Structure 1
Amino acid sequence: MDAIIKSFPQRPEENSAADVSAHHPKPTVERPSREEAEAAVRTLLRWIGDDPEREGLLDTPKRVAKAYEEIFGGYSADPVEELGRTFEEVAGYDDLVLIKDIPFHSHCEHHMVPIIGKAHVAYLPDGKVVGLSKIARVVDIFARRLQTQEALTAQIAGTIQSVLNPLGVAVMIEAEHMCMSMRGIRKHGSTTITTTFTKAFKMNTEEQTRFFNLVNNGRRS
């Protein structure tokens, strides 16, 4: 994962009420017990035609439940809290900050199979910045929930915009969806790209171009 900080001339803000996706805090739902979750796994094992009582599957329900706690740990975390601590002593720096090639694993909300990709996140500070690891953590929290790539992209951008209130946010996600590779059309290696821009990035195509150029900088053609 690369962290890039570049200085560019600041562009005037054209619309202070640019479309901003609302952030999505930690969901609150009534959760079943661990025993109920393990029983559900045993039901699925029988449904696919296997025997949950055979030796190799005896502990599988427990392992799956434990794995799900980690894989879907984003439901237990609040991305807003991750962005709560900011820094204003930045020697007057107020230009583009880009964290690119942030790897992530998510799961499709339609088939519950993996989405594997990387995110590129940039923002234009307005007097304060946040630790670079916090941006990566926001990506991770939203990724560790059932997702569509479009929603994931908008949630990351919307949360950063809502909490930090920068001059603008740009998010680009590139990912492979196992629901296309493992089932259905079965086209392995196809990549989906989504973007979301707010405020200065949304209103100014030159800022978008800078963002894309920096994301692609150093890549082989």
Structure 2
Amino acid sequence: MPRKIGNETKHTIYQRIRADIITGQKKPGERLSIDILKNEFGTSVTPVRDALQMLSQEDLVTIKPRSGYYITLVSLKELNDMLELRQILELAAVERAAEKISDEQVIRLENVHEGFTTDDDANYARYTEENKNFHFLIAQASGNQELAKQIKHLHDRLARFMIIVRSGKIMSNVHGRLIERLKAHDPMGAKKALQKELDDARTSIMDKIMQEEAGSWHLGVSESSRGR
């Protein structure tokens, strides 16, 4: 059924399409028709095209010249590399954050943590945003803004995979322990708390993908590899 949103902004369209991608309503490799989307949202071509451009910057949508817009395919190798990169970047960030984090930054982290919603069907998209914001704030507390931007972008790319694990309740407990270690300015303790989250997430994602989701995710040869 069409979702008429009148004169809503490109950001609203972006959020709606992004939620559909993250929750699996739109599948990897699926073509996104601008004409269909503009009718669905009751708007013109321009905000739809702008929204798809925003999603391409998060690597959730791939733009193919003279072909159109597609939900980005991710190979198993690319997924594993992203999870490994996340571990490298976030462990470096949390170690520095534990040394430098201010009282104000701790309060901001606590506010995000306290506002955490469950990862049930109704809260999928918000769950990924809350988790991304939590880790982004930690990275900002490291004092390295480029590191923070890289971590934020990585969470955007991994959102589709992190959401299928349904680890929100466990993650909330881990985040609570992590905040305590950051407040204590304990780099090793903070790294240990984060390491558990990273290890559990990586194991759960790879197991889930390999056992149940591989067919629907079309994991295989990457887009870049096909052109070689």
Per the normalisation by structure 1, the TM-score is 0.25
Q: Relative to total residues, which structure has the larger strand share, 1 or 2?
A: 1
Rg larger for: 1
Q: TM-score, normalised by structure 2?
A: 0.24
Between Structure 1 and Structure 2, which shows a larger proportion of helix residues?
Answer: 2
